[in-house]
Each structure stands twice: as C-alpha cells, then as structure tokens.
Amino acid sequence: MIVLAGLVLGVATGAYTARKRGGNRLDMAQYAAGYAIAFMLVGLFLTIFLERALA
C-alpha cells in the first residue's frame, strides 16, 4: 500500500514540479516518471522496514 501511495504522490509531485518550471507535456511526463520511481523506492524500503520491525 505504501508503494502505491508513493507512486501516486510521485506522479503528482513530478507533474507539478515540471509545470511550475514551465515544462511541456513531455517534460511533465518525464518528471512524473522520475519522481514516481524515487517515491516508490522509498515506499518499498519503508514497507520492508515496517514488516521486519513489526514481525
């Protein structure tokens, strides 16, 4: 669940950042993909940490 939340948050943050910097649609898509990957990795590590800590 945390990984999917990271995906959604990353896409939204990336698209917003690209739009704020004056990018076009392709820039927004690239930023969204990059942020989504980064946020998903953070979510994955957080999920692994929580699973091990709570088990």
Domain hosting 26: range is 2-54
**For residue 39, what are its two tokens?**
């946020």
pLDDT of residue 55: 85
Q: How many domains does the chain have?
A: 1
Give the C-alpha separation, 37 to 54, whole Å: 26
Q: Note the pTM of the prediction, 2 decimals.
A: 0.90
Residues of the chain with pLDDT under 70: none
Give the C-alpha separation, 40 to 36, whole Å: 6
pLDDT in tens, 19-34: 999 999 999 999 999 9
